[in-house]
Structure 1
């Protein structure tokens, strides 16, 4: 079965995110707990100046886009409402 372009994009995102998270842990940026979670807050503090004073035009554009159009937070009530609407719409008589 061939993957759709959305499936490929999701896979690439997951793969890159997993690699990045592994790298954070490998350089010691993790919480000192038994489940070894990456310490994103500590990482953010270390790279803060890159985002507040970027010198790369592509990064500046990406930051501006993100700040102008931040991702929306999906709340569970919105999710369930949407699922109920979808199920009613697609239910067979």
Structure 2
């Protein structure tokens, strides 16, 4: 008996791609000093400081990046909440320091919704929207890597 659920291969590939790029992105944040310690000295990426120090993502000359940012800001991922004993989706604008921070917070929300089971239970909910959010989140992460010389160096020369 197999427990693997069949679903759209394109969405599976995008989800896998997002997880890979996201993991590599957080690795690069930590090894380039965008890192903070939490309880027990756990190493956590410092997304906010990175967003603050990164040139504006909206300044990218790549039209694909502009399209990705426009989509993410215009169709932000919703936040799954638990209110009155019911799971719900809400449009919740995160508290952000600047536009880069907001864009990267939305990308993290896309990843969190997928990883923590909010958007996938053997099938993707709203597959067209999921496709766009996954695709554009990958584009944003790669643009941020390319726009940061230290991140690009870490990404291209992955070492332990």
Alignment TM-score, normalising by the size of structure 2? 0.43
Q: Which residue of 1 aligns with 2:44?
A: 37
Q: CA 1:58–1:7 in structure 2 vs 1: closer, same or farther (change >3 Å)?
A: closer
Deviations 1:11-61 (A, max 9, x none): 2221221111011101111003411000000110121x3324232211111
Indicate the residue corresponding to 1:27 in structure 2. 32
Look up the SS of the partner of 2:56 in the other structure. Answer: helix
Higher percent of residues as strand: 2
Q: Which structure has the higher relative contact order (CA within 8 Å, separation 6+)?
A: 2
Matches of 1:57 and 1:10 in 2, distance apart? 23
* CA distance in structure 2 between the aligned counterparts of 1:61 and 1:7, rounded to whole angstroms: 22
Q: Does 1:46 align with 2:46?
A: no
Alignment of 1:5-84 (within 5 A): 5=9, 6-33=11-38, 34-47=41-54, 49-77=55-83, 78-79=86-87
Instruction: Give ranges in structure 1 of 5+ residues lacking alignment.
Output: 81-93
Question: Structure 1 residue 8: deviation in Å?
Answer: 3.5
Q: Which has the higher helix share?
A: 1
* Greater C-alpha Rg: 1
> Residue 101 of structure 2 aligns with which residue?
none
Q: Indicate the larger mover: 35-44 or 25-34.
A: 25-34
User: How many pairs are equivalent?
Assistant: 79
